[in-house]
């Protein structure tokens, strides 16, 4: 169960494997290679060096590493890069705490037997009462990571999506934007609530013709953006900025915007929420609201392991603040 073995399994160097598993650099390997390395680490049950040193020194572990199930409640990593980065941060944190992932499953696919055999469960993304009830029937050690409190009787690690949206809108407003379009989910979505609340408190009427409901797919994003742009060109709509519910949507909007004439590109500001790695690898660089997924993952693992060891019994809720990351996609008017 060594770095050398993982390197041989994945056809890369030991140093690359070490950098990936320690998350020392996001650019040390391609995403495909990083995924292969993590898959190999899970396959052989790799544990970090401190566990190996303990064995060499004759220290016998009193118990096997905690087995953790990670359940995606909303979307897969392929559909939303933010959840891919959050999951990778969870893997790093679990590895550093000598815990192991027992199973990775979407909410619809996780089985009762898998949940029962796990020492604890981490839920990623907004969770329904039905799913949580099903999980709690099989496992009482549960922590959820999501943007807003679900008011469940379980430990939560959150970063308020409504506050993030209001921060994004406040920044656009400070640049002089008052006619701001919205592209994203509108159903029970805290970011949409934050968008509307900011307009209301700023005494700006909500123009529903500027709101486009999407489910984060490229096709729906394209239809939404090009529809807004066409109506702007014909004089039926007037807007100077677009608030996208997440970076994945915003990055596709920027890609579509780059195809337009320079005067059109410079006339529309774009802002979003998440601050995924790709936000720094696009043109222009994306202005966004940073959600601290690494810290959220770290505290979620700490909370879960503490609950497993009966370190705390009462429900704990930890809220992380978001912050604005100013880059190049927003302009003063």
- Residue, of 51 and 174, whose pLDDT is higher: 174
The distance of Cα 48 from the centroid of its chain, to the nearest Å, equals 25
| Mean pLDDT across 202-228 | 95
The reported pLDDT for the residue numbered 56 is 46
Report residue 146 as tokens.
Answer: 């999501």
Q: Any idea of the CA torsion for 230, 235, 239, 242, to the nearest 10 degrees?
A: 0
pLDDT at residue 311, as a whole number: 96
Q: Which residues, in sequence order, are CB contacts of 31 under 8 Å at separation 6+?
A: none
Task: Judge whether 121 and 115 are in contact, CB under 8 Å.
Answer: yes
- Reported as a single tens digit per residue, the pLDDT across 148-159 is 888 889 999 999
Determine the pLDDT at residue 270. Answer: 98
33-37, 50-54, 196-200, 214-218: segment of lowest average pLDDT: 50-54
Mean pLDDT computed over 127-146: 92
Q: Return the higher-pLDDT residue of 184 and 18.
A: 184
Cis peptide bond upstream of 284, omega within 30: yes
pLDDT band per the 50, 70, 90 thresholds, residue 128? confident
Q: Pull the structure tokens for residue 92.
A: 């790093």
The tokens for 77 are 């990593």
Q: Which of 12, 10, 63 is nearest to 309 (CA)?
A: 63
Average pLDDT, the chain: 89
Read off the pLDDT band of 196 (50, 70, 90).
Answer: very high
Look-up of token digits 């797919």: 217
Q: Is the pLDDT assigned to residue 250 strictly greater than 60?
A: yes
pLDDT at residue 25, as a whole number:
65
Buried b (16+ CB within 10 A) or exposed e, 69-92: bbbbbbbebeebbbbbbbbbbbbb
pTM of the full structure = 0.85
pLDDT of residue 96: 87
pLDDT value, residue 215:
85
| pLDDT tens digits, one per residue of 79-126 | 688 988 999 899 999 988 889 888 888 877 788 898 999 999 999 988
pLDDT given for residue 60 in this prediction: 47
Rounded distance between C-alpha atoms, residue 96 and residue 145, angstroms: 19
Helix (H) or strand (E) holding 240: none
- The predicted model gives 154-169 an average pLDDT of 96
Confidence of residue 62 (pLDDT cuts 50, 70, 90): low
Q: Which two tokens stand for residue 144?
A: 């959820």
pLDDT digits (tens, 9 = 90+) for 262-291: 989 889 999 999 999 999 999 999 999 999
- The predicted model gives 70-78 an average pLDDT of 70
The radius of gyration of the chain's CA atoms, rounded to the nearest angstrom, is 22
Q: Mention every residue, 6+ apart, whose C-beta is less than 8 A from residue 286.
A: 247, 250, 251, 254, 270, 271, 272, 279, 280, 327, 328, 329
Q: Quick check: 184 pLDDT over 80?
A: yes
Query: Which letter does DSSP use for residue 242 in this model?
Result: E
- The stretch 12-30 carries a mean pLDDT of 79
3-class state of residue 2 by DSSP: coil
Instruction: Check residue 26 and give its pLDDT.
Output: 66
Please write the tens of the pLDDT for every residue from 46-56: 776 554 444 44
List the beta strands (DSSP E) in the chain.
67-72, 100-106, 120-124, 142-146, 155-158, 180-184, 211-213, 241-244, 269-274, 287-290, 317-319, 323-325
pLDDT of amino acid 76: 54
- pLDDT value at 57 more than 80: no
pLDDT of res. 303: 97
Output the pLDDT for position 20.
84
The secondary structure of residue 175, as a DSSP letter, is T
- Pick the residue with more confidence: 1 or 155? 155
Rounded to whole angstroms, what are the CA distances from 251 to 185, 288, 297, 307? 16, 11, 24, 39
* Percent residues over pLDDT 70 in the chain: 92
pLDDT at 305 over 60: yes
């Amino acid at each position: 169960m060594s770095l050398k073995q993982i390197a041989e399994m994945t056809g890369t160097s030991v140093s690359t494997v070490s950098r990936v598993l320690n998350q020392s650099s996001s650019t040390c390997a391609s995403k495909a290679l990083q995924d292969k390395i993590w898959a190999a680490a899970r396959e052989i049950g790799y544990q970090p060096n401190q566990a190996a040193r303990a064995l060499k020194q004759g220290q016998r572990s009193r118990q096997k590493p905690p087995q953790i199930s990670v359940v995606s409640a909303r979307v897969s990593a392929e559909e939303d890069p933010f959840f891919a980065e959050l999951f990778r941060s969870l893997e790093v944190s679990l590895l550093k705490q000598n815990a192991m992932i027992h199973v990775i499953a979407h909410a619809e696919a996780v089985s009762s037997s898998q949940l029962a055999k796990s020492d604890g469960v981490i839920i990623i993304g907004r969770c329904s009462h039905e799913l949580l009830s099903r999980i709690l029937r099989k496992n009482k050690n549960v922590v959820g990571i999501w943007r807003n409190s679900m008011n469940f009787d379980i430990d939560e690690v959150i970063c308020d999506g409504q506050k993030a949206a209001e921060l994004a809108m406040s920044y656009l407003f400070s640049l002089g934007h008052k006619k701001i379009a919205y592209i994203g989910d509108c159903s029970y979505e805290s970011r949409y609530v934050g968008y509307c609340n900011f307009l209301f408190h700023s005494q700006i009427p909500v123009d529903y013709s500027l709101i486009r409901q999407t489910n984060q797919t490229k096709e729906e994003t394209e239809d939404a953006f090009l529809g807004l742009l066409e109506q702007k060109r014909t004089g039926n709509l007037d807007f100077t900025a677009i608030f996208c519910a997440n970076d994945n949507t915003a990055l596709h909007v920027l890609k579509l915007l780059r195809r337009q004439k320079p005067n059109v590109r410079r006339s529309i500001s774009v802002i979003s929420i998440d601050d995924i790695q790709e936000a720094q690898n696009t043109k222009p660089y994306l202005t966004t609201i940073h959600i601290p997924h690494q810290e959220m993952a770290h505290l979620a693992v700490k909370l879960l392991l503490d609950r497993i060891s009966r370190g705390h019994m009462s429900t704990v809720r930890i809220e992380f603040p978001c912050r604005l990351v100013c880059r190049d996609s927003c302009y003063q008017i």
